[in-house]
């Protein structure tokens, strides 16, 4: 007689390594601040020439300036958020624009709440 130790994972839930990656991405005050700014990019960043802040997100250049860090440091923070699936990167006119993946963040929030 076999017993099931774990229930099947819901396909919308992150597996353990992906959940760990997302939680590590959130373990930074700067990355949390970026996610907060990206909730309303029009309120937090200046007008952009090549991308719509709602559709495409905020330009990496503006995120770098607002964070007050070097461009490589800002890019590293954004890479961590993208790799964790919390932010979507969109190359446009020689720049990279970032926006929140609200659906992924909502799924992560639900999954954490269920722990």
Concatenate the DSSP letters of all residues of 6-30 into one string: SPPPPTTSPPHHHHHHHHHHTS-HH
Q: Is the pLDDT of residue 21 over 90?
A: yes
In a domain, 62, yes or no: yes
Domain count, the chain: 1
Name the band, by pLDDT with cuts 50, 70 and 90, for residue 32: very high
pLDDT of residue 57: 92
Strands of 87-92's sheet in order across: 58-59, 95-100, 87-92
What percent of the chain has pLDDT above 90? 70
For the entire predicted model, the pTM comes to: 0.85
SS3 56: coil
For the chain, the first-to-last Cα distance in angstroms comes to 28
In a domain, 8, yes or no: no
In a domain, 59, yes or no: yes
Residue 83, both tokens: 């790799």
pLDDT mean over 39-68: 91
In a domain, 1, yes or no: no
Q: Is the pLDDT of residue 42 over 80?
A: yes
**CATH number for the domain including 27?**
1.10.10.10
In a domain, 25, yes or no: yes
CB 51 within 8 A of CB 88: no
In a domain, 3, yes or no: no
Lowest mean pLDDT among 35-44, 45-54, 69-78: 45-54
Tell me which residue range forms the domain holding 23: 16-113
Name the band, by pLDDT with cuts 50, 70 and 90, for residue 115: confident
In a domain, 50, yes or no: yes
């Amino acid at each position: 007689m076999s017993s099931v130790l774990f229930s099947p994972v819901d396909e919308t839930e992150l597996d353990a390594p992906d959940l760990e990656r997302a939680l590590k991405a959130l373990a930074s005050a700067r990355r949390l601040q970026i996610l907060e700014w990206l909730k309303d990019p029009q309120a937090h960043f200046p007008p952009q020439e090549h991308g719509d802040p709602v559709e495409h997100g905020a330009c990496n250049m503006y995120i770098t300036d607002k964070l007050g860090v070097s461009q490589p440091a800002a890019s590293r923070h954004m890479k961590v958020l993208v790799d964790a699936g919390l932010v979507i990167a969109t190359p446009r006119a020689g720049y990279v624009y970032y926006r929140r993946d609200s659906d992924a963040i909502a799924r992560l929030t639900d999954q954490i709440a269920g722990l």
